[in-house]
A and B are shown apart, each in its own frame.
Chain A
Amino acid sequence: MTSQRCLANLAIAFALVVAGCQSGTVVLLPEQDGKETAVVVKQRDGEVTLREPYAASKLSNTGPQAYKSSAEEVQALFGPALAARPERPVEFTLYFVEGKDELTDESKKIVNDVYAEIARRPAPDVLVIGHTDAVGSHQINDPLSLQRAELVRAGLIQNKIAPENIVAIGRGKRELFVPTDDGVAHPRNRRVVIFVR
């Protein structure tokens, strides 16, 4: 009887230890661009939504427990992971002369900055995203935006950037720089955005 109870207690203690092992911490960090964001933490027994900078949750066998963390705690717990962060992608925007495959003079100067950024990075890769204005359907604008991106990609390849490190995509009219009604022409929307990363 006593030994049975002892065994049962041991089993409970063991289960608690095992469950206790499944622990951790989640901390929301301040956003660089200041936009509203959140992380929803779900565990078997509950849910916590982190919304403010340094809003945090412990993960334990009793479910998520919200608390307020700090820059100091984050550095102490996550310093090495944060130090290993890749550099953020840097964004460049090139505009085209209306109705042509030719960059505006202003944009030609930016191209030099693009090369400088690529040269600076240890393992660079480049994402080239073409955009159109809101004139025409997706069927027309998707290929047109890709064509603009491919043109910029070809230019980068000509200047000795390895082709396997450049991906060109087209977003059509889905991401207008200047919001307009559908069907409206706008030069600032006919552009190619380059992410060097």
Chain B
Amino acid sequence: MSQGLMKRRSLMKQLGAAAFLGVPVFRSAFAEAQASAPLRLVVFHFPSGVSMQSLGADNAIDGSTWNYNGILAPLKELESDVLLFNKVTMPTADLVTTINELEGHGAGMRTMLTGNTNQSENSYGDATSIDQMLANAFGTRTQFGSLQLGVITNTNGTRFGRRICYNNGTFIEPVEDAQATFSRLFPNAMAPALPTGSMTADPQATALLLAEHAAGKSRLDQLRAEVTAIKSIAGADEQSKLDLHLTALRELENSLPKVDGGGGATYQGVSCQPPNVANAPGAKGVLPLEASADYMADLGPVMQDLLYQSINCDLTRIATFQWMSTGDNAIYPFLGIDQTHHTLEHGWGESAAMKGMYDKIQSYLLNQMANFIKRLKATPEGTGSMLDNTAVLICSEMWGNHGHEELIALVAGKAGGAIRTGRTLDGGGRPHSDLLLGLVNAMGLNVTTLGDPKFLTGPLNLA
């Protein structure tokens, strides 16, 4: 257990554990009110494409399709739930690559989920990623509008390495601290649960809870008023930064202790359980170049567990999960990889040994993501599974040759029927913004444009 978690625990003791007892984390009232199950979007990013042959064909650079024979083998058993994309291009990234100092890595990151082509090195214009478009429209339906999680994203390589999420030009970087994420998602899970009904049986605890809620609400009202006042005098460039701050305050308010109407301390749903993060590696700072990141093996599954339970408990319906950073500069000895990911992605064409290492780590990542998808599929919802009501986009900011000729992308899940899976969709060279637009439309957001309209021809029909 991290020191931080211990601190928070001891803090609770000081405050009086009763104030935190019996607070349910519940699926939101919105979810219950909806006739059908909620739609969800999960985006996985993994860095820098895949080696060409491992796409599944001998040489995918010209005309071949990617299939389940190569690196996608872990997804083979999910084939009927997966939509593969071929020949979806990424012209926005090629354009953004022209910026000084901003080579393909950073260009891919900033445009992958935004379609944005802002070419300023230090500004992202009005870039908004698809997850944030959905969060802006639907985020208030759940306790957390969206989540940004990651694993080994903070290597001291490029400054752009952890930036796939943007809201009106302000980027939101992933969190890879399992304990902090746990405390944030499940603030009430650290106290032992009371038996059902004990809340109402303990008026003193109820009163404490009400008092804590009221005090927290007062603080947040004041903070919100302050941020709002600052917004009225701050410059245009700072507005989205302050909007993000307001989102933070709203989500803090959602997390205040609440008195359930006699429900007690049970979590909604049979399988909704706060994950066990006790054995996850503690928070790390920025990894120096060439450091070993073997803790990925322990951290990754726990972070994915947190992701799964945040969806499963309906704490959020929109999440991004970043596996490593573009230009990742760590090594992974636990996989037998003693050269940095960045070195391998540049050099896989040079020798079988390097390609072997590169494929091995990319396969490992895809296998992890497949595990998450399988879990969604194994979670019953309505007459089907949670995966049926979810779209899991897996994509990479670069193609396997370090360029952007195509977007490496697939979607798992049917998004409530809006996506027809079990096939490969030939994009015919259409820009990836079309795919993004098709996806947000499938998620129920009725917009007709996205990113730079010069690189948009219309929504890709996923149905």
Bound pair (A, B): no
List chain B positions with a Cβ less than 8 A from chain A: none
Report which A residues bind B (CB closer than 8 A): none
